Amino acid sequence: MKKLIQFKNIVKEFDGQLVLRGINLDIYENEFVTLLGPSGCGKTTLLRILGGFLTADEGQVLFDNEDITQLPPYKREINTVFQKYALFPHMNVYDNVAFGLKIKKEPKDVIEQKVKRMLKLVGLEEYGKRQVTEMSGGQQQRVAIARALVNEPMVLLLDEPLGALDLKLRKEMQHELKKIQQEVGITFIFVTHDQEEALTMSDKIVVLKDGEIQQIGSPTDIYNEPANEFVARFIGESNIIDGIMVQDKEVVFEDKHFACLDVGFAPNEKVDVVIRPEDLDIVPREQGKLKGVVKSVLFKGVHYETIVETRSGTSITVTMHVSEAKPVVNTEAKEYMSANDFYLDLEDIAELNDAEIIARADAQAWDSETEDWISIHKVEYQIEPKTGTYPVTFSTKAGTMVSANMFVREANRIASKEYEEEIFAVNFFKKVDEIQESMALDTDLKTWANASAWSLEDDSAVEITDVVYDFDVENLTPGDYQVTFKTEGYEYMIDTTDKHEVGEEVGLMFMPEDIHIMSKKGSY
């Protein structure tokens, strides 16, 4: 096959931001090439440079071995199907398709023949007289393709052409586009952020990220041997685990040694281990290479997406003191009032104010008849920056009063070095009815216990995914209860045909060839 297009070290900058950082890429005749990447990766910019709508700051574009870097778009043998099609709204379908031929001043009968043939190719032969604004998205799409192809370009550029269509239509158009490409036999360059679209249609996929090419290859290459974690994550869902390559063909993850096929890494190099969900099997616990518990099962139409947790996350357990305390009643003013004791960290004292105290104590006052809330007029307390117990009194304008205790303690936290995460929570006081009236108990428990977790690596927040308690909310009695907060542990996604029960203890099985090792460095 012949090289048709060559990008040579293309650099493009917008407002001081590098959008393309030296792209080198060859495209051959009759290829269906897809530029794939998330938004902002530079794929559309590259396409527009090829179309002639943008000029590269550096580098060359060769077309059929001729430099076309400075050639204006109307002199290029390339046509484009634009995002949202850019059909001319003041013309009908026929005139839209005939536009390029009329510009070239081709004879009328030739134009008519060519347009008719093209409309037939895209299945719109009956629609020539229609206004384009009256057509559906899918039909507009076909007009745009016909309008570009009628000029017999050597290359057709397609800029996310299926983005505006609904799922069903998109699938149809994918097949149709592929069919048209094979029929007209020219190069198609297709831009998309949809990996599935790229995998089904392309001969060659170019994965881009931040203006750099991550990997070039056939769909199977890219799917089975992703060059790095980014490609692996972007192309379909994957299990990606931190590991260490002990030596050739031997990798360690989750503290266990496994055989694999990969070679060429430095001894003890840190790597990403990729295992596709369809390559994992659920087996009886004792037969598994890894052991875990089924956490969730989702039916996905043809298979079940099963999540197995092999190791739980960081957790912390706090005590919830539940009391039967009733609200204070002021019969004269017809007011009720209540407040809880609460724990405070030493370091929190500096930032303490009335609003914070009211929130922490959950202090409330309300009208005994209408249940309308009444604002708390005064908060009286004295506190010193050392551990101890300090009383606080809340009162309303009408003179209703309620007291609570602030227990100042050292910080109540644990850290798990292994997971490089820290989780924090405090013991707290609650009343029976407050717990029973909660509309979202897990969230409220997190709030009451002030629970939070973060990564020790970069201080970013880590979500608390589990709140575990064993009391019966309906029949709660006063007393002390344990509440545990947990972050997410190591989880594997497995595609299975059998249904497993949540909570089932299982084993995970995979073959050496199912393990794909990627360098952490990110290049390919």
Least distance to other proteins, CB of residue 112, Å: 17
Least distance to other proteins, CB of residue 122, Å: 16
Least distance to other proteins, CB of residue 482, Å: 41
**Distance in angstroms (rounded) separating the CA atoms of residues 41 and 439:** 43
Q: Point out which span in 63-71, 82-90, 246-254, 429-437 binds other proteins (CB under 8 A).
A: 82-90
Subset of residues 252 to 291 that bind other proteins, contact rule: CB under 8 A = none
- From 78, 180, 379, 508, residue interacting with other proteins (rule: CB under 8 A): 78
Least distance to other proteins, CB of residue 128, Å: 13
Q: Point out which span in 35-43, 88-96, 188-196, 470-478 binds other proteins (CB under 8 A).
A: 88-96
Least distance to other proteins, CB of residue 421, Å: 39
- From 3, 67, 88, 388, residue interacting with other proteins (rule: CB under 8 A): 88
**Distance in angstroms (rounded) separating the CA atoms of residues 152 and 362:** 73
Q: How many residues bind other proteins (CB under 8 A)?
A: 25
CA-angle at 158, arms to 154 and 164, nearest 5°: 155
- From 100, 128, 211, 313, residue interacting with other proteins (rule: CB under 8 A): 100
Least distance to other proteins, CB of residue 100, Å: 4
* Contact call for residue 108 and other proteins (CB under 8 A): no
CA-angle at 262, arms to 259 and 268, nearest 5°: 75
- From 63, 99, 336, 424, residue interacting with other proteins (rule: CB under 8 A): 99
Would you call 118 helix, strand, or coil by DSSP? helix
Main-chain dihedrals φ then ψ at residue 510, nearest 5 degrees:
-155, 165
- From 82, 94, 230, 265, residue interacting with other proteins (rule: CB under 8 A): 82
Q: What single DSSP character describes residue 131?
A: B
* Contact call for residue 94 and other proteins (CB under 8 A): no
Beta carbons of 101 and 111 less than 8 angstroms apart: yes
* Contact call for residue 86 and other proteins (CB under 8 A): yes
Q: Which is nearer to other proteins, 147 or 360 (CB)?
A: 147
Least distance to other proteins, CB of residue 51, Å: 6
Q: Which is nearer to other proteins, 37 or 51 (CB)?
A: 51
| Token output for 223 | 């799917």
Q: Point out which span in 95-103, 309-317, 380-388, 516-524 binds other proteins (CB under 8 A).
A: 95-103
CA dihedral over 492, 497, 500, 502, signed as positive or negative: positive
Using alpha carbons, select from 2, 146, 115 the residue that is nearest to residue 65.
2
Would you call 281 helix, strand, or coil by DSSP? strand
Subset of residues 416 to 475 that bind other proteins, contact rule: CB under 8 A = none
Q: Which is nearer to other proteins, 99 or 428 (CB)?
A: 99
If 0-12 CB within 10 Å is exposed, 13-18 middle and 19+ buried, where does residue 480 land? exposed
Least distance to other proteins, CB of residue 103, Å: 5
Alpha helices in 367-455 (DSSP H): 432-437, 441-448
- From 37, 42, 52, 243, residue interacting with other proteins (rule: CB under 8 A): 52
Beta carbons of 206 and 231 less than 8 angstroms apart: no
Beta carbons of 500 and 306 less than 8 angstroms apart: yes
| Helix and strand numbers, DSSP H then E, in the chain | 11, 35
Beta carbons of 459 and 453 less than 8 angstroms apart: no
CA dihedral over 291, 456, 232, 244, signed as positive or negative: negative
| Token output for 222 | 């890219």
- From 42, 51, 211, 288, residue interacting with other proteins (rule: CB under 8 A): 51
Q: Point out which span in 24-32, 70-78, 305-313, 435-443 binds other proteins (CB under 8 A).
A: 70-78
Least distance to other proteins, CB of residue 55, Å: 9
**Distance in angstroms (rounded) separating the CA atoms of residues 7 and 48:** 13
First-to-final CA distance of the chain: 25
* Contact call for residue 89 and other proteins (CB under 8 A): yes
Beta carbons of 245 and 262 less than 8 angstroms apart: yes
Subset of residues 140 to 179 that bind other proteins, contact rule: CB under 8 A = 147-148, 151
Q: Point out which span in 87-95, 282-290, 379-387, 474-482 binds other proteins (CB under 8 A).
A: 87-95
* Contact call for residue 315 and other proteins (CB under 8 A): no
Q: Which is nearer to other proteins, 150 or 406 (CB)?
A: 150
Sheet with 315-323, side-by-side order of all strands: 428-431, 315-323, 479-487, 464-469
Applying CB under 8 A, which residues contact other proteins?
A: 51-53, 72-74, 78-80, 82-84, 86-90, 99-100, 103-104, 129, 147-148, 151
